[in-house]
Structure 1
Amino acid sequence: MAEDRRVKTAVRHPQRRNLCVEINADADEASAASPGALSDEEWVDSATDSGSNTSGQSKQGRSGGMDHPRRLQDDNEDAQGLEVLVAPLERFEFDSWEDLESYLAEYTKGTHQSFRILTKNTVTAHNAKIRPTGSNKPLLPNEWVNYGKTSICTHSGTYKSRGKGKGKWKRLQSRAMECEAQINACVQVDDAKVPTFILRITSARLVHNHPVNKLTYNQYPHVRTALESDVVGTVNELRKAGAKKKRILKYIHDNTDLNPSTQDVSNLIRRLKAKENTASTSATRLKKWMKEFAKESGNVGRIFVDSVGEKE
């Protein structure tokens, strides 16, 4: 039987909260160190910017401990006071950051959520905090690159109007709505004797204050423009052949499940042109440099090409 990933909602009065996450998965080890030196909380960005207002979260209300309300979400429902609870995470331990990113990409697509990375704390910075304390806690291997990452909802932060007047239309796809949904992950010691390390999701608040559905998800820019490389290649060939934007847009609609706008196509064409111009400029500079180099007596220049692309 297929898993039911439908979201459920509860309409409650909006609350202004100033909450803070405390992540102490290694509390027994951290307690032996100086205050703040080894806490897993160190990589959770504090709410210093009034524009974000999203990094502080509460242990209460995380996906694992919340009761799901019984009423299903109405897509036409007013989002004010809305609390949307999505399907919980099924995995919490990962072998690498790539493994985590792959899982979250599949999970967010299946639950129609959109997150972005807010903070990254490097292994170098983390180890630099541990060394002066004299702690026996193993230093993290540099291969991990990042010690911890915080991902926040696309609709986090405070909406700031750029226009004047009372009739402004605020696009749900892009506007900040102070959503507090957040996922925190960091590298932790799995076996201190060896030592071995593992990447864990240490906290996940999966409650949104806005509608979460397929229709809204498909309108996010990063979703509706997620073209495969072969499709982008064909679009580039159509562009070079002089195809109009409407024809390119029709090709994308006919050959993918995506729904980009005309503006998305314009942006794609502009990026492809810029990439082509950059490559041409580099080739021109190299050719000029080689000619100047070869003019000097005794100089020999060679250019090695890894591969040659043949246009069919």
Structure 2
Amino acid sequence: MRVLLTGHRGFVGRHLHAALDGRGWQVTGVDLADGRDALDLFRFDSAPYDLAIHCAAIVGGRASIDGSPLGVATNLALDAWYMRWLARTDTPRAVYFSSSAAYPVALQQPGPLRRLVETDIDHEQPGRPDSTYGLAKLTGEQLCQYAEGTRMTVLRPFSGYGSDQDDAYPFPAFIRRAKERQDPFEIWGDGGSTRDWIHIDDLVNATLAAVDQDVTGPVNLGTGRATTFDELAHMVTDATGYRPAFKHLPAAPHGVHHRVSDPAKLRGFYTPEISLEEGIWRALRD
């Protein structure tokens, strides 16, 4: 199996690369960290592949999403040329990593929790997504229909996490604070916002299961378990054996109030195996 993997040095990309290598597949990784721009490959390269997985994008934590709106232009260019490349090279199978940020913010407000279903995004009449990053991913999903002749899997990860994630993201930032036994323990926002945490191993295994079983269309990658940031802080500090004061920072970037998946479609072909408690234990151990 010949595989093109863009963004293979990023958090999701490097874990996917390791899993694909473990299968003995022939993987070509393209990443700016290696001096290779996926945009150049999409524009000028016509080498054949059996499968393409597109992870390359300008990403970051909440501060990056809110503070780098012009990153949308780069992401849109990458996605548009990815679709052109797929059509030009007749690549039979492809994966596009969208995001839970593509869901309408109107469905993620304070009040009763609403688990997000794939059909909550109507490409004919989409609601406003989360920031320009969500807008780029929503547009990327719409562009997928132009990769004619390619069987396309569209994945919408929720809050992916793992031991080696950059601590610009909430989970590793909480782990670092707990390891350092920080007191007070800072939490962006009021602590009541919920997220749906899925371990990177489950995210990768779900991606490969979708490829193996030829799953197409959008699929949520999440567990359906809602965890507030206060609850996550309690979990990581309890696991390290101390009880700090929590200091909430309501003025810090913190995104929508609720972001939790309905994982029913995912569970039709893969069931996440790593609980949040186990993921915390692994991260504290590493």
Same fold per superposition (TM over 0.5): no
TM-score (norm 2): 0.26
Q: Report the structure number with the largest CA radius of gyration.
A: 1
